[in-house]
C-alpha cells in the first residue's frame, strides 16, 4: 500500500545524467561503456538501490528465468519417502548459482489453472524438471511435443525422442546389492520389488536376476511392495511364508527394507545372522534401523546437478545434450 515505486531504469538514467539505454548496458554488461559513465551509473544504482524489474525483463526477453520442478505424486504415501525431499534440496542447491528460480509445482494432475499440462506449457517456465515419474504419465510426451525443454529424473519406460533423462544405474545397483549377498555366502535370496510403474523397479529386478544367474543360483522369490514401510512389512511376511528357508532379502528401497527388518524381528529371525538385508537409496533412516542398513546409495547431488546442466543447455539451445546414467555405490553397514 506504500505508494513509493521502486526506482526504474529511467530514474537511474536521470540521476546519472545518461540515457536509459546506457544504464541498461551497464546493468547487463552488454556493450562497452566509457569508464567515466560506467562509474556514474554504478553510483546512481547503488544510491538508489536499483534492482531490475524481472517482469519487464521477462516480457521483452521472452524468458521467465524460472524452471519448474514438477512432483508427480498424487498420493501422500510416496511423499513420505525422504528420498524425494533430498532430491528437491539437491536441485535447489544446483540451481543456486544460476539465475534461474526454482518453482515447485505439486501436481495432482490438474489442481491449478486447467490441466497441469496446459499450465506448464503456458510459458510460465523456461524449462521443466520432472521427478518421480510413472511409466504411464503422458506429461513428458506432451512437454516434448510442445517444445518445452524438459529433463526427467529416471529412465522413461519407452524412450521419447528428444526427452532427456538422468537416471542412476538401477540394473547395476540391483546387481551390486545381490552380488554382495552372494559374496556373503547367501544362496536363497529373495527380493521385495517396488511399484511396477516406475522403471527403477524392473531395472533393479533385472540386476537382481542377472547377479543370481551369474552365480548360478536359482531365481529367488519376488514380492511386490509400493516403496512404503508397511508394504515392506507385508511383503516380507509373504516372502517368509512362501520361502521360509530364505537367507537374504534385497529390498527395492530403504523404506521397505526397514519394514522388512521389523517383520523379520517379529518372526524371530536375526539380521544379518539368519537373514541378510540390503536396501536401496541410503536415506537417513538407513543409519537408524536396527541393525543399520546395508544399502545402495544413489548419487543424488550428481544427478541433480546433471539434470540442471542438461536442462539449462536445452534452454540455451545448446546442441548435444545426452541422457545420463550415473553409477551407484554399495554402502556396507550391519544388515548384510
Q: Are 191 and 161 in contact (CB under 8 A)?
A: no
Query: Which phi and psi angles does 88 have, rounded to 5°?
Result: -60, -50
Instruction: Specify the 3-state DSSP secondary structure of 128.
Output: strand
**What DSSP string describes 24-53?**
HHHHHT-S---HHHHHHHHHHHHHHT----
In the bound state with a copy of itself, the residue whose beta carbon lies nearer, of 39 and 51, is 51
Indicate which of DNA, a copy of itself, none lies near residue 317 (CB less than 5 to 8 Å, by partner kind): a copy of itself
In the bound complex, what is the minimum distance in angstroms from residue 89's beta carbon to a copy of itself? 6
* Residue among 1, 3, 4, 5 that touches DNA (CB under 7 A): 5
In the bound complex, what is the minimum distance in angstroms from residue 232's beta carbon to a copy of itself? 10
Q: Are 294 and 260 in contact (CB under 8 A)?
A: no
Query: Which phi and psi angles does 279 have, rounded to 5°?
Result: -105, -160
Q: Does 61 bind DNA (CB under 7 A)?
A: yes
In the bound state with DNA, the residue whose beta carbon lies nearer, of 17 and 85, is 17
In the bound state with DNA, the residue whose beta carbon lies nearer, of 41 and 190, is 41
In the bound state with DNA, the residue whose beta carbon lies nearer, of 14 and 329, is 14
In the bound complex, what is the minimum distance in angstroms from residue 251's beta carbon to a copy of itself? 13
In the bound complex, what is the minimum distance in angstroms from residue 250's beta carbon to a copy of itself? 19
What are the C-alpha distances in Å from 180 to residues 185, 204, 281? 9, 14, 16
Which triple of cell numbers denotes residue 242?
A: 512362501
Which triple of cell numbers denotes residue 332?
A: 556396507
In the bound complex, what is the minimum distance in angstroms from residue 325's beta carbon to a copy of itself? 26
In the bound state with DNA, the residue whose beta carbon lies nearer, of 138 and 317, is 317
In the bound state with a copy of itself, the residue whose beta carbon lies nearer, of 187 and 262, is 262
**Whose CA is closest to 23, among 1, 53, 2?**
53
Distance from C-alpha of 245 to C-alpha of 187, rounded to nearest angstrom: 10
* Residue among 1, 29, 30, 181 that touches DNA (CB under 7 A): 30
Q: Are 229 and 260 in contact (CB under 8 A)?
A: no
Q: Does 101 bind DNA (CB under 7 A)?
A: no
Q: Are 170 and 199 in contact (CB under 8 A)?
A: yes
Q: Does 45 bind DNA (CB under 7 A)?
A: no
Instruction: Specify the 3-state DSSP secondary structure of 311.
Output: helix
Indicate which of DNA, a copy of itself, none lies near residue 19 (CB less than 5 to 8 Å, by partner kind): DNA
Q: Does 104 bind DNA (CB under 7 A)?
A: no
What are the C-alpha distances in Å from 7 to residues 13, 44, 121, 218, 294? 10, 10, 33, 73, 58
* Residue among 24, 92, 101, 146 that touches DNA (CB under 7 A): 24
Indicate which of DNA, a copy of itself, none lies near residue 266 (CB less than 5 to 8 Å, by partner kind): none
In the bound complex, what is the minimum distance in angstroms from residue 212's beta carbon to a copy of itself? 29
Indicate which of a copy of itself, DNA, none lies near residue 291 (CB less than 5 to 8 Å, by partner kind): none
In the bound state with a copy of itself, the residue whose beta carbon lies nearer, of 10 and 219, is 10
DSSP 68: E
Distance from C-alpha of 299 to C-alpha of 90, rounded to nearest angstrom: 10
Indicate which of DNA, a copy of itself, none lies near residue 25 (CB less than 5 to 8 Å, by partner kind): DNA
What are the C-alpha distances in Å from 34 to residues 1, 25, 46, 321? 40, 11, 18, 39
| Residue 102 parent element (H or E) | strand 101-106
Indicate which of a copy of itself, DNA, none lies near residue 96 (CB less than 5 to 8 Å, by partner kind): a copy of itself
State the residues that interact with DNA by CB under 7 A.
5-6, 8-10, 17-22, 24-25, 27-28, 30-34, 36-38, 50, 52-53, 56-57, 59-62
Amino acid at each position: 500500500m506504500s505508494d513509493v515505486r521502486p526506482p526504474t531504469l529511467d530514474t537511474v538514467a536521470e540521476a546519472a545524467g545518461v540515457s536509459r539505454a546506457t544504464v541498461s548496458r551497464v546493468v547487463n554488461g552488454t556493450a562497452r561503456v566509457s569508464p567515466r559513465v560506467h562509474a556514474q551509473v554504478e553510483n546512481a544504482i547503488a544510491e538508489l538501490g536499483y534492482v531490475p524489474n524481472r517482469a519487464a525483463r521477462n516480457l521483452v526477453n521472452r524468458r521467465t528465468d524460472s524452471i519448474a520442478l514438477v512432483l508427480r505424486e498424487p498420493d501422500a504415501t510416496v511423499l513420505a519417502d525422504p528420498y524425494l525431499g533430498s532430491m528437491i534440496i539437491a536441485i535447489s542447491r544446483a540451481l543456486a548459482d544460476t539465475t534461474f528460480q526454482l518453482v515447485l509445482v505439486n501436481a495432482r494432475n490438474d489442481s491449478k489453472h486447467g490441466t497441469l499440462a496446459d499450465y506448464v506449457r503456458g510459458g510460465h517456465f523456461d524449462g521443466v524438471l520432472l521427478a518421480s515419474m510413472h511409466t504411464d504419465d503422458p506429461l513428458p510426451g506432451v512437454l516434448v511435443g510442445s517444445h518445452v525443454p524438459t529433463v526427467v529424473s529416471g529412465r522413461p519406460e519407452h524412450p521419447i525422442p528428444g526427452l532427456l533423462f538422468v537416471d542412476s544405474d538401477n540394473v547395476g545397483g540391483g546387481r551390486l546389492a545381490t552380488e554382495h549377498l552372494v559374496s556373503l555366502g547367501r544362496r536363497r535370496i529373495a527380493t521385495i520389488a517396488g511399484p511396477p510403474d516406475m522403471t527403477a523397479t524392473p531395472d533393479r529386478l533385472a540386476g537382481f536376476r542377472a547377479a543370481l544367474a551369474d552365480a548360478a543360483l536359482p531365481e529367488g522369490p519376488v514380492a511386490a511392495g509400493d516403496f512404503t514401510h508397511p508394504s515392506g512389512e507385508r511383503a516380507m511376511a509373504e516372502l517368509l511364508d512362501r520361502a521360509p528357508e530364505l537367507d537374504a532379502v534385497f529390498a527395492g528401497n530403504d523404506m521397505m527394507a526397514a519394514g522388512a527388518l521389523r517383520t523379520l524381528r517379529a518372526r524371530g529371525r536375526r539380521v544379518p545372522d539368519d537373514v541378510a538385508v540390503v536396501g536401496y537409496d541410503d536415506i537417513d533412516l538407513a543409519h537408524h534401523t536396527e541393525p543399520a542398513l546395508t544399502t545402495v546409495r544413489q548419487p543424488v547431488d550428481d544427478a541433480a546437478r546433471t539434470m540442471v546442466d542438461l536442462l539449462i543447455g536445452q534452454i540455451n539451445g545448446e546442441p548435444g545434450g545426452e541422457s545420463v546414467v550415473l553409477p551407484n555405490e554399495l554402502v556396507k553397514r550391519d544388515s548384510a
